């Protein structure tokens, strides 16, 4: 099983500069754990207290996972995951 | 230094004035690695607030997918401050996630929606460090610029 994960510029220090990496997981939570295993530290940039960080957007097949079950979102082979930090400020 | 053509500069200022007293936001995209700000994309402030801005999450994805398809990157990320100076707030600094971008701040605090000068300043924000840089407005961006 392979799920393509698109990595934003700011987090490519964890992926040796790669724009996209493959990962596995039955759910988004599993996928993030798997990503953190192969790219240590990446998980912490996505999660805070076991939840997705407020200003990190994760999309599965173009849908924002906040409206799709969040970390419990089920994944399938061939899904495309995109991680994008929010563009926001005060 | 940030170099902008007059039309893009004017469009950013007009956007900030139009959305005042809410914060306006958007980007200027350009070819990857070129540092040339060529394509202005005004964004909706999903927060609709005088003290906060956030790109709508679906529009954010659409914007990035378009940039990837065109081999572009965000050269400028801009937003307005409507009651305070054109300097990055603590929140702006904490949420600055594009180390390659020029962060432009426009303050409309003086003239609001009306004609009149604005503060227009540009910064690099990397790992929490803010460095102001000069802004040069030119008639047109040239190939060699």
Residues of chain A contacting B, Cβ within 8 Å: 8-10, 55, 57, 59, 62, 64, 66, 82, 84-90
Q: Which two tokens stand for residue B34?
A: 């070129």
pLDDT in tens, A34-90: 999 999 999 999 999 999 999 999 999 999 999 999 999 999 999 999 999 999 999
What's the CA gap between B89 and B128, in Å, rounded?
11
Structure ipTM? 0.94
B112 inside domain: yes
SS3 content of chain B, % helix, strand, coil (to 5): 20, 35, 40
Of B58, B77, B79, the CB nearest to A64: B58
CATH number at residue B54: 3.40.140.10
Sole residue written with tokens 């701040």: B105
The sign of the dihedral angle between the CA atoms of B32, B33, B37, B41 is: positive
B13 inside domain: yes
Taking an 8 Å cut-off on Cβ atoms, the answer to whether B54 and A8 are in contact is no
Residues 6 or more apart whose CB falls under 8 angstroms from that of A72 comprise A27, A28, A29
What's the CA gap between B105 and B132, in Å, rounded?
11
Taking an 8 Å cut-off on Cβ atoms, the answer to whether B25 and A8 are in contact is no
Q: Which domain holds residue B75?
A: 2-138
Taking an 8 Å cut-off on Cβ atoms, the answer to whether A87 and B25 are in contact is yes
Taking an 8 Å cut-off on Cβ atoms, the answer to whether A89 and B91 are in contact is yes
B8 inside domain: yes
| Closest residue on chain A to B43 (Cα) | A87
CATH architecture of the domain with residue range A3-85 = Roll (3.10)
In angstroms, what separates the C-alpha of A90 from chain B's closest C-alpha? 4
DSSP B46-94: TT--SS-EEB-HHHHHHHHHHHHHTTEEEEEEEEEESSS-SS--HHHHH
DSSP A74: B
Taking an 8 Å cut-off on Cβ atoms, the answer to whether A88 and B52 are in contact is yes
Q: Which two tokens stand for residue B124?
A: 């690099």
Identify all chain A residues contacting B25, using CB atoms and an 8 Å cutoff.
87
Backbone φ and ψ for A26, nearest 5 degrees, come out as -80, -25
Give the pLDDT score at B142.
Answer: 79
In angstroms, what separates the C-alpha of A11 from chain B's closest C-alpha? 9
| Closest residue on chain A to B51 (Cα) | A90
Task: Render the burial of A31-59: b for 16+ CB within 10 Å, e for the rest.
Answer: bbebbbeebeebbebbbeeeebeebbbbb
> What residues does each domain of chain A span?
3-85
B143 inside domain: no
B52 inside domain: yes
Instruction: List average pLDDT for each run of 10 residues in chain B, which is 145 residues long.
Output: 98 98 98 96 98 97 97 97 98 96 97 94 96 97 65
B144 inside domain: no
Statement: residue A1 has pLDDT above 70: no
The structural domain count of chain B equals: 1
What's the CA gap between B60 and B86, in Å, rounded?
24
pLDDT in tens, B41-69: 999 999 999 999 999 999 999 999 999 99
């Amino acid at each position: 099983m392979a799920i393509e994960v698109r990595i934003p510029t700011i987090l490519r220090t964890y992926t040796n500069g790669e724009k996209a990496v493959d990962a596995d997981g039955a759910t988004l939570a599993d996928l993030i754990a798997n990503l953190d295993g192969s790219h240590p530290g990446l998980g912490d940039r996505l999660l805070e207290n076991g939840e997705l960080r407020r200003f990190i957007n994760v999309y599965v097949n173009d849908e924002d996972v906040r409206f799709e079950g969040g970390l419990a979102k089920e994944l399938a082979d061939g899904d495309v995951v995109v991680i994008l930090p929010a563009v926001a400020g005060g | 230094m940030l170099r902008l053509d007059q039309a893009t500069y004017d469009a950013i200022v007009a956007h900030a004035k139009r959305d005042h007293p809410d914060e306006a936001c958007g980007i200027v995209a350009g070819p990857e690695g070129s540092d040339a700000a060529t394509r202005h994309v005004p964004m909706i402030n999903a927060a609709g607030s005088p003290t906060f801005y956030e790109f709508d999450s679906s529009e954010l994805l659409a914007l990035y997918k378009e940039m990837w398809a065109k081999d572009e990157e965000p050269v400028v990320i801009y937003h307005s401050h409507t009651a305070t100076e054109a300097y990055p707030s603590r929140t702006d600094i904490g949420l600055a996630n594009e180390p390659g971008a020029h962060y432009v701040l426009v303050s409309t605090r003086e003239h609001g929606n009306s004609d009149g000068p604005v503060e227009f300043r540009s910064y690099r924000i990397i790992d929490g460090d803010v460095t102001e840089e000069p802004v040069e407005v030119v008639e047109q961006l040239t190939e060699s610029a």
